[in-house]
Amino acid sequence: MDLKPAQPPLGMLAELTHRCPLHCPYCSNPIELIARDGELSTEEWRSVLTQARELGVLQVHMSGGEPLARPDLPILVEHATKLGCYVNLVTSGLGLTESRLDDLVERGIAHVQLSVQGATADRADRLAGARAHDRKVVAAALIKKAGLPLSVNVVLHRQNHDQLAGIIDLAEEMGADRLELANTQYYGWALRNRDALMPTRRQLDEAEPIVRAATERLRGRMEIIYVVADYYEKYPKPCMYGWGARQLTVAPDGNVLPCPASTAIETLEFDNVRDKPLAWIWYESGSFNAYRGEDWMPDTCGTCERRAIDFGGCRCQAFQLTGDASATDPVCSRSPHREVVDLILATQVKTDELVMRTAR
C-alpha cells in the first residue's frame, strides 16, 4: 500500500498554442489540434502561472506548437519570471528575430531549447515540411549572441539516424551547451508515422559508438543526452518519473494533463483551469490520481524490484498498445503483453512516406 502524499510539482509544460510553422511527422501534439479560438487568453495564462508558482512550480517550459506564435509571449515570460520561475523557451526558432529575443531576454527568459531536424538543410527541411533549417542556424547564433544557454533538441528516427555525426557537429558549431538526441517516442503524430520512423536495430547499434565518442570528446563543453528507442529495450523508460509526480502540462485550451501525451488515454477525463483551481487538479483530480504512486500497479509491477526505477513505465504506451492504461508497459520484457511490441518490430511494413502534421 502506497500512502505517500503527492509532492508539489517541480515543473510545468505550458503549451501556449498548437499553432506551428513546421509540420514534423513525429510531433507529440495530439492528432486533434486545438484551434486558436480555443486557446486560453493572456489573463487566463497569467492566472495559470500564478497558481503554478503558488503550487511550487519552479521551472516553466513555454512550449507549443510554436510559442512565438503567441504575441503575448513576452508578457507571460515577464510574469513567470517575476513570480520567481526559471523560464525555458522551447522553440523551432522560426520567428525569433534579434529584437524579439532581446525583448524576451529583458523580460527574464533564462534558457532556450531549439529543435533541429537533421544535419543538412535539404534533409531537415523535408522532415520539417518547411524551409526552416537555415533560419534555425541564424536563430542559434542570435541565442548565443544574447548570452543565453542553448539546448539543441533532435528527434531521431530511421530517416535521420544516418546524419547523427553531422547533427552532433552542427550542434557543436551552433555553440550548444546541451544536445538532446531523443529517439522518437510513439505518441500523437509519431504513432501515426511509426512505420516510417522506427529505426532499425543496425542504426541503433551504429549510433552508440558515435554518441559515446562525441560525449567523451565534448565533455565539459557540450553535454549530450541520448534517449534510447524504447521498443528495442528490455525495460521501459521511467516515463515522467512517475505519473503526477514531478510535472504537469497545461494544454492550449486549459486542460491540465499528467503528461503531454495523456489525451491518448481515452478512459481518462481531464479537468480544466477554466473550471477548477490548479492545486485541486494536481492533488485531487481523478486524472492525476489515476496512476500516482503504486496502488494502481498490476502484480507484475507491484512485486517487481524495478518499480522504484521505472515506475511501471509509460501509461500512454500501455493504453495505446494494450487498451489498458494500468497494464505493465508492454515494452517491459516481464510484461504479459511484450509480444505486442515484438510483433510490431517483426512485422512492420517499412515505408518512407510521412504523414506530415497539419497546420492549425
Residues at the contact surface with ligand FES, assessed by CB under 6 A: 187, 239-240, 259, 261-262, 314-316
Can residue 230 be called a binding residue for ligand SF4 (CB under 6 A)?
no
Q: Is 88 left (phi over 0), alpha (psi -120 to 50) or beta?
A: beta
**Set of cell numbers at residue 83:** 513570480
Beta carbon of residue 298, minimum distance to ligand SF4 (angstroms, whole number): 8
Total residue length of the chain: 360
Q: Can you tell me the distance from the alpha carbon of 157 to that of 160, in angstroms, rounded to the nearest whole number?
A: 6
How many other C-beta atoms are found inside a 10 Å radius of the C-beta of residue 250?
Answer: 26
What is residue 257's three-state secondary structure? strand
Binds ligand SF4 by CB under 6 A, chosen from 9, 25, 293, 312: 312
Closer residue to ligand FES, CB minimum distance, 47 or 263? 263
Give CA separation, 28 vs 73, 121, 261, in Å.
Answer: 21, 23, 7
Q: Does 338 bind ligand SF4 (CB under 6 A)?
A: no
CA distances from 44 to 64, 106, 126, 174, 203 (A): 16, 23, 36, 36, 45
85 annotated among ligand-binding-site residues: no
Closest CA relative to residue 170, chosen from 140, 126, 148: 140
Q: How far is the CB of 329 from ligand FES (least distance, A)?
A: 8
Are the C-beta atoms of 282 and 9 separated by less than 8 Å? yes
* Min CB(331)–ligand SF4 separation in Å: 8
What does 129 interact with, of ligand SF4, ligand FES, none (CB < 5 to 8 A by kind)? none
Rounded distance, CA 248 to CA 182, Å? Answer: 21
Residue from 88, 310, 337, 357 in contact with ligand SF4 (CB under 6 A): 310
**Cα separations (Å) of 173 from 156, 177, 210, 226?**
19, 11, 17, 19
Which residue number, 125 or 310, has a Cβ lying nearer to ligand SF4?
310
Provide the total of helices (H) and of strands (E) in the chain, helices listed first. 15, 9
CB of 241 to ligand SF4, least distance (A): 13
Stretch that binds ligand SF4, among 123-131, 179-187, 263-271, 307-315 (CB under 6 A): 307-315
* 27 has binding-site annotation: yes
Q: Would you call 147 helix, strand, or coil by DSSP?
A: coil
Q: Does 144 bind ligand SF4 (CB under 6 A)?
A: no
Can residue 11 be called a binding residue for ligand SF4 (CB under 6 A)?
Answer: no
Among ligand FES, ligand SF4, none, partner that 90 touches (CB below 5 to 8 angstroms by kind): none
Q: In angstroms, how far is CA 202 from the centroid of its own chain?
A: 25
Which of ligand SF4, ligand FES, none does residue 360 bind to, with CB < 5 to 8 Å depending on kind? none
The reply on whether position 235 binds ligand SF4 by CB under 6 A is yes
Q: Which is nearer to ligand SF4, 235 or 280 (CB)?
A: 235
261 makes contact, choosing from ligand SF4, ligand FES, none, with CB < 5 to 8 Å by partner type, with: ligand FES
Which of the choices ligand SF4, ligand FES, none does residue 300 contact, using the CB cut-off of 5 to 8 A by kind?
ligand SF4
Q: Tell me the backbone φ, ψ of residue 201, rounded to 5 degrees.
A: -55, -40
Q: Which of 334, 340, 344, 360 binds ligand SF4 (CB under 6 A)?
A: 334
Residue 271 in contact with ligand SF4, rule: CB under 6 A: no
Residue 24 counted as an annotated binding residue = yes
From residue 260, alpha-carbon distances to 137, 213, 296 in Å are 28, 32, 20
Task: Give the residue carrying C-alpha cell 503550487.
Answer: 55
What are 283's three cell numbers? 492533488
Q: Is 246 in the site for ligand SF4 (CB under 6 A)?
A: no
The answer to whether 178 touches 208, Cβ cutoff 8 Å, is no
Of positions 77, 161, 328, 357, contacts ligand SF4 by CB under 6 A: 328
Does position 330 bind ligand SF4 by CB under 6 A?
no
Please give the annotated binding residues for [4Fe-4S] cluster, written as ranges: 20, 24, 27
Q: Where does this chain bind ligand SF4 (CB under 6 A)? A: 235-236, 300-301, 304, 306-307, 310, 312-313, 328-329, 332, 334
Please give the annotated binding residues, written as ranges: 20, 24, 27
